[in-house]
A and B are shown apart, each in its own frame.
Chain A
Amino acid sequence: MSAITISHLTKRYGPVLAVDDLSFDVHPGKVTGFLGPNGSGKTTTLRILLGLADATSGSARIGGLTYRHLHDPVRQVGAALDSNTFHPGRAAAEHLKIIATATGLPHRRAAEVLDLVGLASVADRRVGGFSLGMRQRLSLAGALLGDPAVLVLDEPLNGLDPEGIRWIRGLLRSLAAEGRTVLVSSHLLSEVAQTVDDVVVLSKGHAIAETTLSELVERSSVIRARTTDATRLVDVLLAAGIQVRLVDGGTVEARGTDAAVIGLAAAGAGLPIFELSRHDQDLETLFFDLVHDTQEVAA
């Protein structure tokens, strides 16, 4: 069973369709990136998953149950939705002890997770004096308080410096290596590219890609070919079922294939090839093309 199952999830706020028939699964032992530009429905989806909002239709389940039906949810799911869920006048350790008190966790867990996220020295300092990066770490500490098997993190890299990004990247990968389920949302693919195994890409409330990161990068690379008659080469490749576009009179770009296939197709049509090269899109361009392109990448 998938650890997290989103099934035909829809959320409407009046005339605005925030989430549109969204379905995807998240599996244990991996870090899954939940990606999409701002306003694509990521946070809304996570809020529904965590019982903070109701779906208009569809379901969002963890281990087969909705969040509100989980027994001892903090011990099963750790969530960090944003870094502004603290009373500024309350000390960091006290914030965690309140959660521990409400959930029956031992208070020593507060000190343990603060140490884990590097905030042990400021445990008794009021959160109002924390930087954004410190609040992000405290939010993560709260998510780890119950030592949960499932982690749901919304934009956890926001506000972190390069050292902090490297640290959290290592932490998330180690948690996944332990067999936990880690779902990380972000609006920047490049930010999470070194962290995630699988990706779910959202645009305008629905999934446009659900695959592994490596497959996504592989499928997005283009083979560029220069020939004497690019239009004829386009026809030949389209007939072979290859996704191709005409760049100019002498150049074509093909996706989802390799150079050998292009070369053989050109040779079979008697077309000389002056250039045959592979270009991997940079991740930002890849992401931009995905969310702004009408074509979807299937798993």
Chain B
Amino acid sequence: MTGTARLARAEVRKLFTTRAVPVSIAIAAVLAVASVLIDAVVAGKSGAHALGSTAETYRMLKLGGLSAVVMLIIGILAAGGEFRHRTIVPALLATPDRTPLFVVKVAVVAVLGAVFSAVIFGLGLGTVAATLAAHGIHNLPAQTGRLYLGSVIAGACFGMIGVALGALTRNTVGAIVAAIAWAIFVEQIILQAVAPSLERWLPVGASLGLTNPPSASVLPPALAGLVLTCYAMVLLVAASVTTIRRDVG
């Protein structure tokens, strides 16, 4: 087995030998199913779109944001947790060349993000299909496949962004609080109100172009994917420079 393959297996082992990742996946799965069922219950009431309508089905399929947030946190824990718990010390003693160690960690989290998002969206999609079928509706909107792919890409990107933030800050709590504060307060509340055309170019706004059906307020999916990937790459380059250069321990 090559050194890279061994490192990758070690990184996977790290992710699944503590509770954070399995519990996060389980919670996300429950939330995905629950959100679809709740949407189905309130559909057609108090001004909501009717169950089976395109708009309502798209609403039920807004699952990409859930997996993106979870992967952001998992990415932060995967990198920042190494410094918080000082497991970075045995990691570097085993693999003193920091570049492959960092690159493999990013790659593993990105793959996990893609797989996880695919599973969560698939679970939600299956619940949507079953719920609609129970009401005699057997059609899914045309953009369903695109939303599925968009969620997978968003999950992978936010996983990488999480790794970058965790490596940059070396502080899991700080990084998670800052990321959530940015996403909710800066992007969704402030900029959405004062500069919506700017907000869609920022990370959360760009991800909506991947996970939401097309509209004037979001970027086209291909552009959204490119923008989000660029954010991930820039943050990763910044993180790799600091992680590779800084003293540890």
Let me know if A102 and B91 touch, CB within 8 A: yes
Closest to B97 in A: A68
Bound complex: CA A81 to CA B93 (Å): 10
Bound complex: CA A95 to CA B13 (Å): 9
Let me know if A101 and B9 touch, CB within 8 A: yes
The segment out of B82-90, B177-185, B191-199 that lies at the interface is B82-90
| Complex interface: chain A residues within 8 A of B247 (CB) | 47, 52-54
Q: How many residues of A contact B (CB 8 A)?
A: 33
**A50-B93, A102-B6, A104-B1 known; A86-B249 Cβ under 8 A:** no
Given A50-B93, A77-B93, A103-B6, 6 additional A-B pairs, CB 8 A = A52-B248, A70-B96, A88-B85, A98-B13, A98-B14, A102-B6
Bound complex: CA A99 to CA B14 (Å): 10
Closest to A54 in B: B247
Bound complex: CA A90 to CA B81 (Å): 12
| Complex interface: chain B residues within 8 A of A94 (CB) | 13, 17
Let me know if B93 and A74 touch, CB within 8 A: yes
Those of A78-126 within 8 Å (CB) of chain B: 79, 81-82, 84-91, 94-95, 97-99, 101-104
Bound complex: CA A51 to CA B90 (Å): 11
Let me know if B93 and A79 touch, CB within 8 A: yes
Let me know if B81 and A85 touch, CB within 8 A: no
| A156 within 8 A of partner (CB) | no
Bound complex: CA A77 to CA B90 (Å): 12
**A interface, CB within 8 angstroms of B:** 47, 50-54, 67-68, 70, 73-74, 77, 79, 81-82, 84-91, 94-95, 97-99, 101-104, 142
Query: Min CB distance, A186 to chain B, in Å?
Result: 18
Closest to A77 in B: B93
Contact of A52 among B20, B87, B89, B95 (CB under 8 A): B89
| Complex interface: chain A residues within 8 A of B87 (CB) | 85-87, 95
**B interface, CB within 8 angstroms of A:** 1, 3, 6-7, 9-10, 13-14, 17-20, 81, 85-87, 89-97, 247-249
**A87-B87, A90-B17 known; A74-B94 Cβ under 8 A:** yes
| Complex interface: chain A residues within 8 A of B94 (CB) | 73-74, 99, 102-103
Let me know if B249 and A84 touch, CB within 8 A: no
| Complex interface: chain B residues within 8 A of A95 (CB) | 87, 90
| Complex interface: chain B residues within 8 A of A73 (CB) | 93-94, 96
**A89-B18, A90-B18, A103-B6 known; A84-B86 Cβ under 8 A:** yes
Let me know if A85 and B9 touch, CB within 8 A: no
Contact of A87 among B10, B85, B97 (CB under 8 A): B85
